[in-house]
Chains A and B, each alone.
Chain A
Amino acid sequence: MLTLAIAAAACAGPSRSDDDYTNKAAQTAQAMGSLLETARLGADAAEKDRTIAPFTSVLMREMEGDASGVQSVFLTRQPPSATAVELRARVAPILTDATSVLADLRIAAYRNDVDALSRAAERIPAITETLGSIEKLTPT
């Protein structure tokens, strides 16, 4: 148990180099992309009347909760250099956009407003495309 805690702490620790920070940015983008894709699938299923309203509401709530965690972990990480600060400035707005879309999806799902769900879900592909470009970043 202790080992697991140590391993978890090591993963969430501070970045000591640009390479590490870039890797963390890529992992953050990947995790956020996964949450957005899940939410998009959930919205798609709701639009096609293939899920029940409470289920969609729980799914969106979980995706938004996880996204806030992913965003918070990345943004509270100290950038080790000026280059890393630039990368942070590039990633931060995308993460904000992602959490904002997920919040809109959660609100729409809670109100069982399928039209609002569809409208919010339409914003996802553009965000995931940008996240994809960050995901492909490799340490120099």
Chain B
Amino acid sequence: MKRVLTLTLGILTAIGGFIDIGDLVTDSLIGARFGMGLMWITIVAVFGIMTYAEMSARVATATKLPVYDIVRSRMGSRLSLLSAGGSFFATFLALIAELAGVALAIELFTSVSYLLWIPFVAALMWFLLWRVPFDYMERAYGVLGLALLAFVVAVWQLGPDWESLGHQVTHPPVTNGEGIPTYFFYAVVMLGAQMTPYEVIFFSSSAVEKRWSRSDLSTARLNVFIGFPLGGLLAIAIQATAAIRYFPLGIEVDHLSQTVLPVGFALGKIGLAVAILGIVAATFGATMETLLSSTYAVSQYWGWTWGKSVRRTEAARFNVLMLALLVVAAAIGLTTINPITITVYAVFFGALVLPFTFIPILITANDRRLMGDLVNGRLANTMGTVFLFVTLTASVSALPLLLATKAGL
């Protein structure tokens, strides 16, 4: 039973990390624009994030050190400042987007402007982080986030032409008025939406905070190998619903409401409500992950005492910073800046800085002195190198593609 409950960390990480506001919007946008033509990116992202999450769990278990302690010791203070700073900025942008995302999802239930919900969501988040034990929170979001499975059921209920969807997978419809650079720009955006630095930071920091030992590694691996593929399945289902309802009509997706409309068609009012509930849970979980991860990045880099389970007086700087970040994120969200635009920036910037999070993990996981018998094997190294190359390629090509395609227009 304990193992089943512990599995919820993986589900939370997968749902809150893989299916966050960035992914919800990007999946639907890309499904409407390219059909299933970028589904392969999701498969790459699932294997990539599984590789590095498993590696970071081993590193955290063997060294008892979180990501940015390792980054600083491996890359030196200047280069690690670039890494921690970049990841912090990308994660903080994501925090603003997630916070607004929860408010946008509640707006779909109530028709009350999301701006009025932002302070409420921020206050609730702070209260829960302050008062509720971490385990309860992750289990609640993990279980509620499973409501997103409504998208999977919706795909079936929409009765798609499976042959046509399959054809889109194997023959990406790039020629339908889209250029090859635009196709690859959105490939980079989708990779950035699905492989985020905060997924690894959150997973590894949680492992350190929960003092995982070798006996917990098998559970950690189950988390990784069940949670992320589940996130990938949900992402593909969201792409498919948009590919079925919007792609043939040439509809462009710019709003969260458009992401869930196909579920209403397929499953009616109840299905729509369940899907929106899933979005609220997933974005709320992602808000918690991005808030904690951005605070972890700064605290770990500067060597502060950090952690939700540490006495607050001992981790005063960590707790003050967390509150400050939440307040600033809410304030920025209240400026009426378009949350979807922030989401796109967060996703794009995340793709740029991703390799800086992966490189030190890969290097440390190869250090036999630190890792002992948990050192990387041939398979982990091969996969780690392949996915590092993929993220480096995406990172290097992101800016030229953005300029060449005028941000995907």
Contact = CB atoms under 8 A, between A and B. Distances in A.
Interface in B359-409: 399, 402-403, 406-407, 409
B211 interface: no
A100 B261 CA distance: 22
Contact of A50 (B249, B264, B348, B403): B264
A33 B261 contact: no
A97 B122 CA distance: 41
Contacts, number: 83
A45 B406 CA distance: 34
A79 interface: no
Interface in B246-261: 246, 249-252, 254-255, 257-258, 260-261
Nearest 7 A/B pairs, CB to CB: A54-B111, A59-B257, A51-B264, A34-B252, A57-B111, A50-B268, A37-B249
Contacts of A52: 109, 269, 272-273
B176 interface: no
Chain B binding surface SS class: helix
A116 B259 CA distance: 25
B272 A51 contact: yes
B252 A31 contact: yes
B108 interface: yes
Interface of A: 1, 3-4, 7-8, 10-11, 30-31, 33-34, 37-38, 41-42, 45, 49-55, 57-59, 62, 66, 110
Given A7-B403, A57-B111, 9 more contacts: A1-B345, A4-B345, A11-B406, A41-B249, A45-B265, A51-B269, A53-B111, A55-B260, A58-B107
Interface of B: 107-111, 245-246, 249-252, 254-255, 257-258, 260-261, 264-265, 267-269, 272-273, 276, 345, 348, 399, 402-403, 406-407, 409
B88 to A, nearest CB: 15
Nearest to A51: B264
A71 to B, nearest CB: 16
A58 B111 contact: yes
Contacts of B108: 54-55, 58
A30 B250 contact: yes
A61 to B, nearest CB: 8
A30 B251 CA distance: 9
26 contacts: A3-B399, A4-B345, A4-B407, A7-B406, A8-B407, A11-B406, A34-B252, A37-B249, A37-B250, A38-B246, A38-B258, A38-B261, A41-B245, A41-B249, A41-B251, A50-B264, A51-B269, A53-B111, A54-B110, A55-B108, A55-B109, A58-B108, A58-B111, A58-B257, A59-B257, A110-B111
Contacts of A49: 268-269
B108 to A, nearest CB: 5
Contacts of A42: 261
Contacts of B258: 38, 59
A34 B265 CA distance: 18
A30 B258 CA distance: 17
B252 A59 contact: no
Contacts of A54: 108-111
B265 A41 contact: yes
B257 A55 contact: yes
Contacts of A37: 249-251
A10 B406 contact: yes
A10 B404 CA distance: 12
Contacts of B264: 45, 50-51, 55
Nearest to A132: B250
A58 B276 CA distance: 13
A34 B251 contact: yes
Given A4-B402, A50-B268, A50-B272, A59 B407 contact: no
B268 A3 contact: no
A7 to B, nearest CB: 5
A59 B250 contact: no
A54 B107 CA distance: 8
Contacts of A53: 111
Contacts of A55: 108-109, 111, 257, 260, 264, 272, 276
Nearest to B409: A11
Contacts of B246: 38
A110 B258 CA distance: 18
B232 to A, nearest CB: 27
Nearest to A41: B261
A75 B402 CA distance: 27
